[in-house]
A and B are shown apart, each in its own frame.
Chain A
Amino acid sequence: MSKTTVFTRRDFLRSTAAAATVAATGVPDLSAAATSSSVLVLRDQKAMIDDYKVDAGVLNKMLAETVMRVTGEKTAKSAWLSLFKPTDVVGLVATPHLNPTHPEVVAAVREQLRDAGIPENNMRDAQGGPEKVEQCTALISLPGLKAHWLTGIGTVLKNYIMYSGNPEAYHNQNNVKLGEIWNLPRVKGKTKLILVDALRPLCDKGPQPDPRYMWPYKGLVAGQDPVAVERVCLKIITEKRHAIRGETWLLSPPPLCVEAADKQYHVGVSDLQKIKINTAGWAQDLLL
């Protein structure tokens, strides 16, 4: 056991208390890497038929609005083209199994990219090993929102674990290093959009599906800062857990990888106070 890597419950409680003190006093946290980020949470009550099946038409409108709001462009086409060039090889990185990304989400992204002028043969299913990401010039991360019993949350940061070429090195106690993968030369700077499928998230016991902890949130969570998007997703999951139990019900283990991705690997912003959360659409039970 390497003593330098031991992180205990006590360490976690101390770091949480320190963060709370910073929040209460307004003293800036000088160790934070980035300054601010924005994340969009867009929902539509009609996104799922009978709270179960995706309504592709509604989803398509949600996606167009999402990409316009994230980029500040006035049309979906210009929004997509502000992110990608027709010459880009665009990798779509969905979660393939165990609460997978809804295929309708991947299909809608493909369709809108195509409509914007990205050739179909320039799009790749880019989930997989290093060779998948190496062939792409740009990426869209498309994970499903879910808790994970080994990492606390298993959504944005974990979505690129296969790009490491050595996923075992990021399992168990080493999951705290997941942010490191986003800095690999074959990955860094390629991700133009993080689009989380939050249509029917899972707030406990992931990655195996457990419908007791799945609910029709009917949302998309999007942004360009993977850590900030993950942090907002974490907030949604945590608030849902509290609502289910009617008492504080924190994720266990704590998602240490999120803060580490900010403070240690400088991939993005993990401090909620530095994240501007923009919301649109259905506001009931927003959990933010």
Chain B
Amino acid sequence: MIARVMGRREALFIIRLIPFLTLFVYVDQAAGSASGLAPREQAMTLPKQVGQWKLVEGPRRIEPKAIFDYMDGGGELYLGYRFRYLDVFNYAGAGDEQILVEVYRMEGSDDAFGLLSLDRDGEAIGFGRGESGQGIYGAGLLRLWSGDIYARVLAERETPQSRQAVMALGESVCRGRRQTAQPAFLKALPAALSGFRLEPNRVSYFRSYLVLNSLYFLSNENILKLGLKTEAAIASYVSGSGGQQKRARLLEIRYESDSSALSAYRSFLAAYFPETKSPKAGSGQVAKATPPAGKGGTRKVEDGWAGHRLVGRSLVLAFEFPSEPTARLCLDTATEQLQNWEKSHE
């Protein structure tokens, strides 16, 4: 059902030439001057017709305050990133089969990339040789990232024709745009950790604890004090192969300041290791509630060994490692990578 894309991160975004798509799209364009749009910024221009699909509604502007009216229960996802507005276009084809185009305009490219990074299963698509945008397609849904834009192009029913139309609309969204780099913070993630190798397709960038929980449940409360001013990445690492595979996770968070990182660290330790409130001297497994920066600790918990370390304004957290040494080595490797990245970044 799903064409799963495996391999290096670079291989994820296979460059595909889609030159025929320009012929598939009617030249007449839907201008973004429809009533109801914020006057300060016009909506993107998309074709009035793509193949047999005609634009029947839109662009319709959805501001943040109205996103729950548009998608009750789904809006938190976008508000968990730095979301500015959404433009919605509806196309109707034969038999009233629709194609929905949602263009989410974010504050920055990192936020748009973050939305795409939440799920990378599917066929990788490059627009403009990958220099205009990158997308992932599966079963009628194209999700793409192009600079500060994240877009969903959804065919109600997948057919060869609807796929062609979806790709053409993706091309239109990306046309004339210049793709930007992935979030710099991702470079703080090591490619390998104490016998574990990074799974490039399972690296996600986010800011919200709700998004974290949808990727990896940690707590029903915001114990890491995540928010729009933080940036975070969670990555899956794997060791072994076949039926002997073992997965572990690395979570790195960068806060606004050293003090906010320390505050979050304390909150995490108190919530996640409540037994450490009264540490037993000499146990060798008990992390102090507020260890000195750079020290951190490890602890055996219900699903393996967990590790934690405060590194300046960042937190490094490790989960599901098979032993204390592997968890500690993970922290050491991740800390070194993070510090090297901090130096090069600043």
A→B interface (CB under 8 Å): 1-3, 5-10, 12-14, 17, 52, 97-98, 148-150, 154, 158, 171-173, 176, 204-205, 207-212, 214-215, 244, 252-254, 256
Contacts and interface: CB of A to CB of B under 8 A. Distances in A.
A211 B218 CA distance: 28
Nearest to A247: B245
Given A9-B219, A13-B303, A148-B73, 9 more contacts: A1-B267, A5-B220, A6-B223, A52-B157, A149-B74, A171-B76, A207-B72, A212-B122, A244-B2
Interface residues of B, number: 39
A98 B297 CA distance: 44
Contacts of B152: 208
B302 interface: yes
A212 B214 contact: no
Interface stretch (B47-55, B134-142, B170-178, B253-261): B134-142
B271 interface: yes
Interface string B150-188: 001011011000000000000000000000000000000
B191 to A, nearest CB: 23
Interface string B124-149: 00000000000000111100000000
Nearest to A50: B157
25 contacts: A1-B221, A2-B221, A3-B270, A3-B271, A5-B221, A6-B219, A8-B223, A9-B216, A9-B302, A13-B302, A98-B74, A148-B73, A150-B73, A150-B76, A150-B210, A150-B214, A207-B74, A211-B138, A211-B140, A211-B154, A212-B121, A212-B139, A244-B2, A252-B217, A254-B217
Nearest to B143: A210
Contacts of A211: 138-141, 154-155, 158
Nearest to A96: B72
A211 B152 CA distance: 12
Contacts of B76: 150, 171-172
Contact of B218 (A8, A205, A209): A8
A212 B1 contact: yes
A132 to B, nearest CB: 15
